[in-house]
Amino acid sequence: MTSSFSNLSLAEPLARAVAEMGYETMTPIQEQAIPVVLQGRDVMGAAQTGTGKTAAFSLPLLQRMMKHENPSTSPARHPVRALVLLPTRELAVQVAQQVELYAKYTNLRSTVVFGGMDMKPQTAELKKGVEVLVATPGRLLDHIEAKNAVLNQVEYVVLDEADRMLDIGFLPDLQRILSYLPKQRITLLFSATFSPEIKRLASSYLQDPVTIEVARSNATASTVEQHFYSVGADDKRRALHQILKERGMKQAFVFVNSKLGCARLARSLEREGLKTAALHGDKSQDERLKALEAFKKGEVDLLVCTDVAARGLDIKDVPAVFNFDVPFNAEDYVHRIGRTGRAGASGLAVSFVASSDNRLVADIEKLIKTKIELEPLEFDEDRPRIKEQGRINDGRRMYREGEDGGSPREARQPRERREYTPHRQPAAPRDPFFDQPYEPTAAPDAQPAWEAAAKAAPARSGVSANIKPKKKVAALFKTQSTV
Ligand code: AMP
């Protein structure tokens, strides 16, 4: 039984960093992958984000690199030995943060490079010498072509979120990058699914890999309470407000299907008094990092995002995920709701289903192999009227299922002749607060804290959208331990 990190005989600086992170036992992917990587085998791993897979590959790679660890300031003594490739900037920053934390008591250096930023600060970091380079493929190629990154001593390659890299169209970039690397190396590939394309990629670049699958790739965490409400397009914002209020929730991710919809919704919610930030592909890198950071610090309540911008983001303790739009791609449903209920915590995933979404819901049902029951949503404003009707029509009090063991079905059905699927979750706590009219927590015109901060310290002219990444990433690293 090797479920404790202490059984791994990690080098003292690594063991100390792990202990400081508060990890007690290994997650299933760590339990299976770490010993295999320590032995020097290639790995093909099916693991979703949130399973601890970053540590599953980082810790054994850092352990193997400890033999090269040295305090020299000479860049030549710190060649790139491990390359970690990811599909998005946010994921790259997130993985780099974790590597930095695990390596903090060693002399092994790491950095991250990604597009949308000035290349110069990244070049300066690369020129100092780093053992672990975390990168998105396009920007890495820019650095290779500019001769900023020398990869002839790479011993380890990690293709993380490989399915997404292929979805985005990174295959040609990956092939080029891999062609620059020494043939003698260890390659680890992680993917949410093992599609035929992923299998082809693996058979071209992995040697006799050990396959590790910790959970069915399309499984949704059992700790997530999932609801699908029938809500007309015009009622979705009202529904969002009501559920947040009923559940007493402070923070949530809200997913929409388009960049335009994302921006519009974020603006509307902000006007309605919720501290909101938008995360989508048209936002500058600076804005995206600020939005994410503000959410992590609790300065923003709702992060309205599109799938590409949010995939794999590791933000702990997001109590709820709302699918304001049902995703076009059923797999995105699994990824979206993976933001909540992580690492054993319970979470809530609410989807607003319009009548035109039935086919999309059927796709999700097929993928997660679970019957989805559409639930009606009763709005607060409608409730007094319903009570009144109840008295006039049949003289009985209207019961809500679960509140007092009454017989809810007969009481509800006559009002609207539609099928009622009972809400089987425990009733929301009876707090008098919830009977009061909803009051926004902030003045409708209040600007999000991160926007105010940006205005107080405007970007220097000439720097434009390309803020200094070193500073921003460093700031994120500092807050990691508190997130
Ligand atoms: P990942 O799947 O790598 O994105 O990790 C998800 C989250 O789980 C990160 O915040 C990690 O810090 C955390 N984590 C990783 N390994 C463990 C562990 N063994 N015990 C507790 N938390 C962990």
Instruction: Confirm whether 297 is domain-assigned.
Output: yes
Token output for 141: 């190629």
Ligand 1, residue 51: give the atom nearest the CA.
2
Residues 37, 103 within the same domain: yes
Helix (H, G, I), strand (E, B) or coil at 82: strand
Distance 339 CA to ligand 1 centre (A): 13
Q: Measured between alpha carbons, how far is 296 from 434 in angstroms, rounded to an integer?
A: 27
Instruction: Confirm whether 405 is domain-assigned.
Output: no
Number of helical H runs and strand E runs in the chain = 19, 14
Instruction: Give the total number of structural domains in the chain.
Output: 2
Residue 50's pLDDT is 73
Instruction: Confirm whether 396 is domain-assigned.
Output: no
Which residue segment(s) compose the domain that 188 sits in?
A: 5-213
Distance 341 CA to ligand 1 centre (A): 13
Domain boundary among 145, 180, 213: 213
Residues 132, 12 within the same domain: yes
Give the residues across from 132 on adjacent strands: 82, 110
Burial class (CB in 10 A: 0-12, 13-18, 19+), 220: buried
Cβ atoms of 166 and 201 closer than 8 Å: yes
Residues 158, 245 within the same domain: no
Domain boundary among 382, 400, 426: 382
Instruction: Confirm whether 388 is domain-assigned.
Output: no
Helix (H, G, I), strand (E, B) or coil at 341: coil
60 lines ligand 1 (CB under 6 A): no
Q: Which of 171, 153, 432, 457 is nearest to 286 (CA)?
A: 457
Residue 12's pLDDT is 97
Residues 333, 376 within the same domain: yes
Cβ atoms of 414 and 393 closer than 8 Å: yes
Distance 89 CA to ligand 1 centre (A): 19
Distance 314 CA to ligand 1 centre (A): 9
Token output for 412: 């509800």
Ligand 1, residue 27: give the atom nearest the CA.
19
Residues 177, 232 within the same domain: no
Distance 268 CA to ligand 1 centre (A): 34
Residue 250's pLDDT is 84
Domain boundary among 382, 415, 442: 382
Residues 51, 195 within the same domain: yes
50 lines ligand 1 (CB under 6 A): yes
Strand intervals (E) in 102-174: 110-113, 132-135, 156-159
Residue 51's pLDDT is 81
Residue 483's pLDDT is 23
Query: What CATH number is attached to the domain comprising 248?
Result: 3.40.50.300
Q: Which of 7, 23, 99 to mutate to test the pocket of ligand 1 (most atoms within 8 A of CB)?
A: 23
Instruction: Confirm whether 473 is domain-assigned.
Output: no
Q: Tell me the angle at which helices 53-65 and 28-38 cross, rounded to the nearest 10 degrees.
A: 20
Residues 85, 204 within the same domain: yes
Residues 354, 252 within the same domain: yes
Distance 322 CA to ligand 1 centre (A): 23
Helix (H, G, I), strand (E, B) or coil at 127: helix
142-147: Cβ within 8 A, 24+ apart: 142/115, 143/113, 143/119, 144/177, 144/180, 146/119
Ligand 1, residue 483: give the atom nearest the CA.
10
Strand ranges of the sheet holding 132-135, from the earlier edge strand across to the other edge: 110-113, 132-135, 82-85, 156-159, 186-191, 43-46, 210-213
DSSP string across 258-304:
SHHHHHHHHHHHHHTT--EEEE-TTS-HHHHHHHHHHHHHTS-SEEE
52 lines ligand 1 (CB under 6 A): yes
Distance 49 CA to ligand 1 centre (A): 9
The Cα-based distances of 332 to 237, 311, 458 in angstroms read 21, 9, 36
Residues 209, 249 within the same domain: no
- Measure the CA dihedral 126/129/133/139, to 10°: 20
Q: Measured between alpha carbons, how far is 398 from 83 in angstroms, rounded to an integer?
A: 62
Residues 63, 132 within the same domain: yes
Ligand 1, residue 54: give the atom nearest the CA.
3
Indicate which residue's Cα is closest to atom 18 of ligand 1: 23
Residues 125, 249 within the same domain: no
Q: Which residues of the chain have pLDDT under 70?
A: 1-2, 215-222, 311-317, 341-345, 383-483
Residues 250, 114 within the same domain: no
56 lines ligand 1 (CB under 6 A): no
Instruction: Confirm whether 480 is domain-assigned.
Output: no
Q: Which of 253, 388, 263, 381 is nearest to 324 (CA)?
A: 253
Q: In terms of pTM, does the model score above 0.75?
A: no
Cβ atoms of 325 and 257 closer than 8 Å: yes
Indicate the DSSP class of residue 25.
B
Q: Measured between alpha carbons, how far is 368 from 331 in angstroms, rounded to an integer?
A: 9
239 lines ligand 1 (CB under 6 A): no
Q: Which of 7, 14, 21, 318 to mutate to test the pocket of ligand 1 (most atoms within 8 A of CB)?
A: 21
Instruction: Confirm whether 414 is domain-assigned.
Output: no
Cβ atoms of 286 and 459 closer than 8 Å: yes
Exposure letters 131-158 (e unless 16+ CB within 10 A, then b): bbbbbbbebbbbbbeeebbbbeebbbbb
Instruction: Confirm whether 475 is domain-assigned.
Output: no
